[in-house]
């Protein structure tokens, strides 16, 4: 018998057999039909596809179908089989717009030329591009009723395991559209509970961590400051699912916005208990008129999803930062002596020469001359005047900066200079010439902070001027190796005289774009100059800006105890190599606290070591200790600056705090342990180490020792233990006294 399933014909040879075979065939055919129907029920409807964005550990997936809404179906740990992302059926609008059926907060809100306030976005197409380690997925969405295209970009960094998301919008509406909401990213989590850690504070108390459970409603963290926009909060978050964030366990989504202007992060728990996270530039008072055929691009939101707690998040961000996020992330950062707390505005050539000589003698690699070196008609002898007049003050420095550069170089160290080129004192020659260059509302009293105002970087002429400040300083004083770029106020009374009346609300966005233009030009001409990002402390720290900068000044508060908390929060997102940490005098100028020199050094050595005090005022003994500490730092610098960070004991949970760095090849590690409060019977918590190779044996040495005192680490000095033991039993030594500190070097044999 020949049976054809398709043509349904049978050629019988014998009735009995025919009857028999026909029955069998019917059963087979019925079975086949059921099978086919079952496949059809499970298979995606025609044209539906799954777009998967993956790194080595994190994944994000969308369902896309021509003409339908794009749906986020998955966010979490990467699945072993790519095909299984298709099984994820439940989903959420991937980029909700205002005006459709959605009732939650919109990622995008557009008013069209005809006054229609609604937008609908449907999937149109997508493409994937691979460039080395980076896989970029572009998803194009269209509004079926208006000529508007929205492009979502996802840059997946395979090795460092982070994703950058941003959005572009472009249209062909002749009279233009107005954008009212323009998120960079929109992600939805679905868990039982959500715990948000935010990083906020103020001047001298930056990056304080606070965790709270999110319940129904919207929690917003934002900055409306325009400039110095991290003064009160950082655009960074940790979002832990189902329990509080922990260092080595739990599901955590962590994100940060790469943008120094006003920003907002919105966390909305809806009526079904799902959490929608939108982040981007702050749309507050910033509606944007977009002409046709012009691309509006948002800044990048950087995020990663870890199933092994916040430690993993940290190391991913750091690895990414060193490769992509900060300027020249692979070069060694120099130690330096800064004269700010040593002299403030009160110095002359002789004073500086003496400090330079001391800095070289102590072993520093660079001397950084801070504020106060410029201005003649209005000498910069205080913060009341002179900002904007960037010629060397003849009285203080009759031989110019060049003579100091030479002095430093002759002594074998480099020279760095402080600039605050975006700012101006009304009492300055620059203001007399260009009163229209400042940001202020017309017909309102000018509002100063620290007696200064902000130059209007929306204006291309002002951009040229700001670039020329840097350029001329560099050209007139060849040999300057380092620039500290300061920025000491935020926007109030915010208005640009340059922007046309109908575009005044663009100020907050255009200012940052103007700043980027200037920084692009600076970096094009001076690619090798080391630059420190400073904003009265940590008022401006983000990866939008850090791609131009080698390091940052996180706080004017140099009190080592406060620094432990400030640095603890900062390092969730930014690596120690870029975190300048300076030893300063006691009593501390801000807190008045008295902390031993060793503790101050041990805290600064856990990041990028520097000093902010007058060496001539040190005792010979302290100076000798400092000299030795600087050499000790050189011995561990690569571990600290290039190693992986592991947090061991949190200062928020324990009176003893500890962390460690491990080199990539796990050959070396350094452990920092600090006691923040005296414990009468001794604090003996085991430091259960992390990140070592369990099969390697490590020999322990205490470094930067206080030779005058017995060290409770002595019984372990020179001993060798396996990584396995150190990561299970731990490192056990007792600490007793307030501000006792230990630095332990581990070297694999």
- Would you call the peptide bond into 587 cis, given omega within 30 degrees of 0 as the criterion? yes
144 CB burial (10 A radius; 0-12, 13-18, 19+): exposed
Alpha-carbon span 694 to 338, nearest angstrom: 41
The residue number with the shortest CB distance to ligand DGJ is 371
Residue 480 CB contacts under 8 Å (≥ 6 apart), including other chains: 401, 405, 415, 416, 417, 473, 474, 529
Q: Which CB atom, from 266 or from 489, has the smaller least distance to ligand DGJ?
A: 489
688/686 Cα distance (integer angstroms): 6
Closest to ligand DGJ by CB, 158 vs 591, is: 591
Closest approach of Cβ 422 to ligand DGJ, in Å? 13
* Sequence-separated (6 or more) residues with CB below 8 Å from residue 43: none
User: Is 651 strand, coil or helix?
Assistant: coil
Count the helix, strand and coil residues of the chain and give each as a percent rounded to the nearest 5. 25, 30, 45
Residue 321, both tokens: 């930062």
Tokens representing 648?
A: 């061991």
Query: Could you give the C-alpha distances from 125 to 84, 128, 409, 482, in angstroms and in order?
Result: 22, 11, 58, 47
Catalytic choice (486, 559, 612, 644): 486
Distance of alpha carbon 519 from alpha carbon 547, whole angstroms: 10
In three-state secondary structure terms, 641 is: helix
Shortest Å, Cβ 536 to ligand DGJ: 4
Q: Within 10 A of 506 (CB to CB), how many other CB atoms are there?
A: 18
d(Cα 164, Cα 302) in Å, to the nearest integer?
4
Is 486 labeled as catalytic in the residue annotation?
A: yes
| Residue 459 structure tokens | 């204006």
- Please report how the helices 560-570 and 597-604 are oriented relative to each other, as an axis angle in degrees rounded to 10: 10
Least gap, CB of 542 to ligand DGJ (angstroms): 17
CB of 488 to ligand DGJ, least distance (A): 6
Cβ contacts of residue 96 below 8 Å, gap of 6+? 102, 104, 105, 106, 107, 108, 186, 276
Footprint of ligand DGJ (CB under 6 A): 340, 370-371, 418, 486, 488, 534, 536-537, 553, 556
Residue tagged active-site, from 556, 562, 602, 740: 556
- Cβ closest to ligand DGJ, residue 194 vs residue 203: 203
How far, in Å, CA of 88 to CA of 651, rounded?
41
Output DSSP code: residue 82: G
Nearer to ligand DGJ, 564 or 580 (CB): 580
CB of 420 to ligand DGJ, least distance (A): 7
Shortest Å distance, C-beta 611 to ligand DGJ: 13
Bridge partners, 72 (sequence order): 62, 92
Q: Judged by CB, which is closer to ligand DGJ: 609, or 636?
A: 609
Own/partner pairs for 350-356, CB < 8 Å, 24+ apart? Answer: 352/397, 352/404, 352/407, 353/404, 353/407, 354/616, 355/614, 355/615, 355/616, 356/404, 356/407, 356/408, 356/411, 356/413
Nearest of 198, 236, 234 to residue 219 by alpha carbon: 198
Assigned token pair, 116: 């229609």
Q: How far apart are CA 398 and CA 400, in angstroms?
A: 6
Q: What span, in angstroms and rounded, lies between the C-alpha atoms of 599 and 564?
A: 11
* Closest of 137, 79, 136, 146 to residue 111, by C-alpha: 146
Instruction: Tell me how far, at minimum, the Cβ of 535 lies from ligand DGJ, in Å.
Output: 7
Tokens at residue 253, please? 């989504």
Name the 3-class secondary structure at 404: helix
Using alpha carbons only, give the angle 424, 425, 429 rounded to the nearest 5 degrees.
85
Of the two residues 343 and 704, which places its CB atom closer to ligand DGJ in the complex? Answer: 343
State the minimum distance, in angstroms, from the CB of residue 487 to ligand DGJ: 9
Residue whose CB is less far from ligand DGJ, 301 or 534: 534
Nearest Cα to Cα of residue 662 among 702, 637, 692: 692
For ligand DGJ, give the closer residue by CB, 88 or 342. 342
Rounded to a whole number of angstroms, the minimum distance from the CB of residue 387 to ligand DGJ is 9
- Number of H-type helices and E-type strands within the chain: 13, 38
Q: In this complex, which beta carbon is closest to ligand DGJ, that of residue 320 or of residue 553?
A: 553
Q: Is 556 annotated in the active site?
A: yes
**Residue 486 beta carbon to ligand DGJ: minimum distance, rounded to whole angstroms:** 5
- Report how far apart the first and last C-alpha atoms of the chain are (Å, whole number): 78
Q: Which is nearer to ligand DGJ, 74 or 418 (CB)?
A: 418
Q: How far is the CB of 421 from ligand DGJ (least distance, A)?
A: 13
Torsion over CA of 627, 631, 632 and 635, rounded to 10 degrees?
170
CA distance 313 to 246: 11
Q: Are 582 and 600 in contact (CB under 8 A)?
A: no
Question: Are the C-beta atoms of 390 and 419 separated by less than 8 Å?
Answer: yes
Whole-number minimum distance, CB 555 to ligand DGJ, in Å?
Answer: 8
Q: Which of 496, 529, 533 is nearest to 228 (CA)?
A: 533
Query: Within 10 Å of residue 669's Cβ, how many Cβ atoms?
Result: 28
CB-nearer residue toward ligand DGJ: 535 or 641: 535
Q: Which is nearer to ligand DGJ, 418 or 733 (CB)?
A: 418
Q: By C-beta, is 59 or 533 nearer to ligand DGJ?
A: 533
Name the minimum Å distance from CB 550 to ligand DGJ.
16
Phi and psi angles of residue 737, each rounded to the nearest 5 degrees, phi first: -95, 145
Q: Which two tokens stand for residue 306?
A: 């870890």
Residues involved in catalysis? 486, 556
């Amino acid at each position: 018998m020949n049976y054809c399933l398709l043509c349904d014909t049978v050629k019988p040879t014998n009735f009995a057999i025919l009857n028999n075979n026909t029955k069998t065939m019917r059963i087979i055919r019925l079975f086949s039909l059921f099978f086919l129907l079952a496949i059809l029920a499970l298979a995606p409807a025609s044209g539906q596809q799954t777009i998967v964005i993956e790194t080595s550990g994190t994944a994000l997936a969308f369902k896309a179908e021509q003409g339908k809404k794009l749906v986020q179906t998955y966010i979490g740990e990467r699945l072993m089989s790519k095909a299984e992302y298709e099984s994820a059926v439940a989903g959420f609008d991937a980029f909700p717009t205002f005006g459709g059926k959605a009732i939650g907060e919109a990622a995008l809100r557009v008013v069209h030329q005809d006054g229609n306030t609604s937008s609908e976005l449907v999937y149109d197409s997508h493409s994937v591009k691979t460039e080395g380690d980076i896989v970029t997925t572009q998803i194009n969405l269209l509004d079926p009723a208006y000529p508007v295209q929205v492009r979502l970009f996802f840059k997946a960094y395979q090795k460092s395991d982070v994703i950058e998301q941003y959005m572009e919008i472009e249209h062909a509406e002749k009279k233009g559209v107005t954008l009212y909401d323009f998120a960079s990213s929109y992600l939805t989590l679905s868990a039982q509970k959500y715990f948000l850690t935010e990083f906020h504070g103020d001047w001298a108390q930056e990056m304080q961590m606070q965790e709270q459970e999110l319940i129904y409603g919207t929690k917003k963290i934002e900055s409306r400051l325009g400039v110095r926009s991290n003064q009160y909060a950082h655009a960074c978050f940790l979002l832990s699912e189902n329990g509080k964030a922990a260092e080595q366990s739990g599901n955590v989504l962590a994100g940060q916005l790469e943008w120094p202007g006003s920003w907002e992060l919105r966390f909305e728990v809806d009526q079904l208990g799902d959490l929608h996270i939108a982040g981007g530039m702050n749309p507050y008072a910033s509606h944007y008129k977009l002409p046709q055929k012009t691309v509006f691009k948002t800044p990048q939101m950087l995020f990663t999803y870890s199933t092994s707690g916040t430690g993993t998040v940290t190391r991913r961000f750091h690895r990414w930062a060193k490769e992509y996020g900060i300027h020249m992330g692979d070069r060694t950062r120099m130690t330096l002596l800064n004269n700010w707390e040593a002299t403030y505005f009160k110095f002359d050539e002789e004073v500086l020469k003496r400090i330079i000589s001391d800095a070289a003698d102590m072993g520093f690699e660079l001397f950084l001359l801070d504020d106060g070196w410029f201005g003649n008609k209005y000498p910069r002898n205080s913060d009341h005047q002179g900002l904007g007049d960037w010629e060397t003050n003849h009285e203080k420095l009759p031989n110019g900066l060049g003579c100091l550069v030479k002095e430093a170089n002759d002594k074998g160290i480099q020279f760095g200079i402080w600039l605050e080129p975006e700012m101006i004192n009304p009492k300055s020659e620059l203001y007399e010439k260009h009163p229209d260059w400042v940001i202020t509302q017309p017909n309102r009293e000018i509002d100063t902070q620290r007696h200064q105002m902000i130059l209007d970087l929306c204006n291309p002429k002002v951009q040229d001027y700001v670039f020329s400040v840097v350029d001329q300083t560099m050209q007139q004083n060849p040999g300057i190796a380092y620039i500290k770029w300061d920025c000491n106020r935020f926007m109030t009374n915010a208005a640009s005289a340059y922007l046309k009346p109908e575009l005044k609300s663009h100020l907050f966005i255009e200012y940052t774009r103007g700043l980027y233009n200037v920084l692009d030009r600076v970096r094009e001409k001076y690619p090798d100059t080391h630059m420190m990002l400073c904003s009265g402390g940590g008022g401006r720290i983000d990866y939008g800006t850090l791609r131009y900068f080698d390091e940052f000044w996180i706080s004017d508060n140099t009190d080592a105890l406060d620094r432990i908390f400030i640095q603890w929060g900062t390092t969730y997102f930014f690596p120690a190599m870029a975190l300048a940490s300076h030893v300063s005098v006691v009593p501390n100028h801000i807190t008045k606290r008295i902390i031993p020199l060793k503790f101050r050094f041990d805290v600064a050595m856990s990041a990028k070591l520097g000093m902010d005090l007058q060496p001539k005022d040190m005792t010979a003994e302290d100076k000798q200790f400092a000299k030795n500490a600087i050499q000790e730092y050189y011995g561990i610098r690569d571990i600290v600056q290039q190693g992986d960070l592991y947090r061991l004991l949190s200062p928020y949970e324990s009176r003893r705090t500890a962390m460690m760095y491990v080199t990539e090849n796990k050959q070396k590690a350094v452990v920092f342990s600090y006691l923040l409060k005296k414990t009468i019977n001794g604090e003996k918590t085991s430091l259960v180490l992390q990140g070592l190779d369990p099969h390697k044996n490590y020999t322990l040495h205490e470094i930067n020792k206080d030779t005058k005192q017995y060290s409770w680490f002595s019984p372990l000095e020179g001993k060798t233990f396996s990584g396995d033991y150190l990561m299970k039993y731990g490192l056990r030594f007792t600490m007793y006294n307030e501000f006792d500190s230990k630095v332990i070097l581990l070297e694999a044999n």
